[in-house]
Amino acid sequence: MTWNLWWQFGDHRRREEAICQVIAEQDPDVVFLQEVWVRRDSHQCEILAERLGMHWVANDPVFWKDAAFANAILSRWPLERILDERLPGADGTLSHRRMVMAEVQTPWGPWPAVSTHLEHRFDHSATRSAQIAAVLTAVAAHRAGAGGATEDLPAVVGADLNAVPDSDEIRMMTGRSPAPVPGIVMSDVWEQVGDGSGLTWRRENPHAAISAWPDRRIDYLLVAWPRPKPVGNPISAHLVADGAVTIGGEEVWASDHAGVVADLITPDELIAD
pLDDT of residue 147: 61
Comparing CA positions, the residue from 77, 119, 122, 124 lying closest to residue 99 is: 119
Q: What is the pLDDT of residues 140-165, one digit of tens each?
A: 999 988 665 445 799 999 999 999 99
Strands 94-106, 109-117: pairing kind: antiparallel
Query: What's the CATH architecture for 2-272?
Result: 4-Layer Sandwich (3.60)
Q: What is the pLDDT of residues 235-263, one digit of tens each?
A: 999 999 999 999 989 999 999 999 999 99
Contacts of residue 73, defined as CB under 8 A and 6 or more positions apart, other chains included, come to 30, 31, 32, 33, 56, 57, 58, 79, 100, 102, 104, 113, 115, 158
Question: Quick check: 36 and 5 in contact, CB under 8 A?
Answer: yes
Has residue 270 got a pLDDT over 60?
A: no
d(CA 101, CA 245): 31
Domain boundaries defined on the chain: 2-272
